[in-house]
Amino acid sequence: MLKKPETLFVLGYMLLPLLALVSAIVGLTMILGGNKILGIIVLVVVTQVFTFGAFFALRARKAALLEEPDARQ
């Protein structure tokens, strides 16, 4: 299922960037709310995991599209 270009499109362009944005907002809110150490951990670690996951999904989508036979032409 994770080799389908459609699934990787949803992960790479929609879901993982949205989760990265939400985790960045949560991390900044935690920092501004006084919980600085946990907020920095969320901001640096969790946001970067979602960001790199999106890049990985986009690269995997590109590879899956290049492997497909050209049935569209």
State residue 2's pLDDT score: 74
At 26-53, the pLDDT tens digits run 999 999 999 999 999 999 999 999 999 9
Q: Judge whether 14 and 61 are in contact, CB under 8 Å.
A: no
| Neighbour-count burial for 17-53, b at 16+ CB within 10 Å, e otherwise | bebbeebbeebeebbeeeeeeebeebbeebbeebbeb
State residue 28's pLDDT score: 96
At 6-33, the pLDDT tens digits run 899 999 999 999 999 999 999 999 999 9
Question: Residue 56: which residues within 8 A CB-CB, separation 6 or more?
Answer: 12
Q: What are phi and psi of 61, to 5 degrees?
A: -65, -45
Closest Cα to residue 6, out of 47, 64, 52, 49? 64
State residue 33's pLDDT score: 94
